[in-house]
Amino acid sequence: MTDALSRSAIRRIVIIGGGTAGWMTAAALSRLMRNGHSSITLIESDEIGAIGVGEATIPPITAFNKLLGIDENDFVAKTQATFKLGIEFVDWTRRGHRYIHPFGEYGLDIEAVKFYQIWLKLYSLEDDIPYIDEFNLSAVAAKLERFLKPSTDPRSVMSSLAYAFHFDATQYAAYLRRYAEARGVKRIEGKVVDTTLRSEDGFIEAIRLESGEKIGGEFFIDCSGFRGLLIEQALHAGYESWTRWLPCDRAVAAPSERVRDPIPYTRASAHSAGWRWRIPLQHRTGNGCVYCSEHMDDETAMAQLVAGLDSPLTGEPRYLKFTAGRRKEFWKKNCVAIGLSAGFLEPLESTSIHLIQAGVSKLIALFPDGEFNPIERDEYNRLTALQFEQIRDFLILHYHATERDDSEFWRYTRSIPIPETLKAKIELFRSKGRIFRFQDELFGESNWLSVLLGQNIRPRTWDPFVDALDYAQIRGQLMRMHALIRSTAEKMPRHQAYIDRFCAAAKPVREQSK
């Protein structure tokens, strides 16, 4: 039985492209494929620069780190990382307005009634009930610029905190490269110039490098970025554009000097034709401007980026063109696309690196043998398409639910017909504030709640079960929750103090920023 299993196993895995996608894939596979008879080869070229727009993450990244078994403090120090408790949205609902989408949960349910349903009733009836983000520990800590790891004790309010990271994507790829190479991954420097397909079934047989070297394999993973060298150029998987809903198609990114202690959250500030990001790292600040080329040219976008800076640039700006959407087939023949080769959704909710992680996780769960049973391929494609579409809807919500009418861009985004899946979610919430999570959806109740309320979508009423609860009792419980969350956050160390104590970069920040 063992010999039969080993004979059918994939023995030669070839990853095309490095960067975050390639090295996350290589690291995860090298961790799990310690069978002694399977090889992993990664091909990348130092001449092809990484995109590097995805420096902010969401909480599932902590699970990926645990899968690899890496020391988190070492990872944070080596990648110049900071901690992230949420995303602040500035000028999205209307100019001058801001709200935070925090990680973690809001309050505690009372007698099986959702906390936020109870809050909806009290907030609508009384003026002194705090806004809902005051009942989220991650939100309160973010505003106070505090950080501490969550507790594993479910009885502690600290267990409700959730976090992710901001990190230098280039250094993250280098960190994972060291990890993967230490576990047997072979890296080959070179550019792929041709792909050979098998005549009998169209499977990829080998790739040829610019040097003339030919590299064969049984299973190929395309991490070549927007080019899609294998999945598109060789296998013609096709691409589904979503620009009618997400019209931004350009970005310009540039680093700037660090001028203050880093805040523990990402900031996304809307402008007349898109938005700007600000991502604080230990040694610098990452900045970018996402925009729609129909409503803003490159020079104006660069001016928007510079106008939002509070320190000088430390590098040349990089321009990026993209089309929001996804590959029609993520897994075709004996090739899986992961990262930008699979699709692109602007990093408004920091999902770029998560989509890499999710692609790797699904691949591990459905990893084929030499028979390449199509049921595994079809399930991978179904689940990945569903996740892309669910994230797409969440991003569209930010553009659709706006009161802005100060530019042609915002008048367009608020008026376009939205997907039926998103329309149903909004209408269900407008009725009685109800939110449901479907089929392992990435964003849950608390995520949708923060953005729906933040973008000023208000339910007409609340769940009728709230009315069965004693009003004075639930009011008292909410106010005690609020006091406990506030006092807990105030006792947490400053974000910078936590980094200094546990995971500061090896060199002084001031020295590295010169």
Closest CA to 454 of 395, 415, 401: 401
Return the structure tokens found at 45.
């070229």
Q: What is the pLDDT of residue 49?
A: 62
Q: Identify the H or E element spanning 137.
A: helix 137-144
Domain 250-321 bears CATH identifier 3.30.9.100: yes
Contact 363, 336 (CB under 8 A): yes
Average pLDDT in the 215-236 region?
97
Closest CA to 455 of 279, 189, 270, 237: 270
Q: How far apart are CA 99 and CA 95, in angstroms?
A: 12
110 is in an annotated binding site: no
Q: What is the pLDDT of residue 55?
A: 87
| Domain assignments of the chain as residue spans, ordered by start | 2-49+168-237+327-389, 104-159+419-494, 250-321
Please give the angle made by the CA atoms of 71, 74 and 76, to the nearest 5 degrees: 110
Return the structure tokens found at 258.
């660090």
CA distances 211 to 14, 193, 220, 235, Å, are 17, 9, 20, 23
Q: What is the pLDDT of residue 51?
A: 57
Q: What is the pLDDT of residue 50?
A: 61
Question: Looking at the DSSP assignment, which residues form a beta bridge with residue 255?
Answer: 286
Q: Of how many residues is the chain composed?
A: 514
Q: How far apart are CA 455 and CA 279, in angstroms?
A: 22
User: Is 84 marked active-site?
Assistant: yes
Which of 78, 84, 332, 425 is flagged as catalytic?
84
Contact 281, 55 (CB under 8 A): yes
Q: What is the pLDDT of residue 37?
A: 78
Q: Which amino acid is at 40?
A: I
Strand 98-102 to strand 86-90: parallel, antiparallel, or no bridges (unpaired)?
antiparallel
Flag whether pLDDT at 42 surpasses 90.
yes
84 is in an annotated binding site: yes
pTM for the structure as a whole:
0.95
57 is in an annotated binding site: no
212 is in an annotated binding site: no
Q: What is the pLDDT of residue 199?
A: 96
Contact 27, 178 (CB under 8 A): no
Contact 158, 181 (CB under 8 A): no
Q: How confident is the model over 142-191, as pLDDT tens digits?
A: 999 999 999 999 999 999 999 999 999 999 999 999 999 999 999 999 99
353 is in an annotated binding site: yes
Could you check whether 2-49+168-237+327-389 and 250-321 share the same CATH topology?
no
Domain 2-49+168-237+327-389 bears CATH identifier 3.50.50.60: yes
340 is in an annotated binding site: yes
Question: Looking at the DSSP assignment, which residues form a beta bridge with residue 266?
Answer: 87
Q: How confident is the model over 239-282, as pLDDT tens digits?
A: 999 999 999 999 999 999 998 999 999 999 999 999 999 999 99
Q: Please list the alpha-helical segments (H only) found in 294-404.
A: 298-307, 352-365, 374-400
Write the burial class of residue 371 (CB in 10 Å: 0-12 exposed, 13-18 middle, 19+ buried).
Answer: exposed
Return the structure tokens found at 428.
């269900």
Q: What is the pLDDT of residue 288?
A: 96
Contact 359, 334 (CB under 8 A): no
Please give the angle made by the CA atoms of 393, 399 and 405, to the nearest 5 degrees: 155
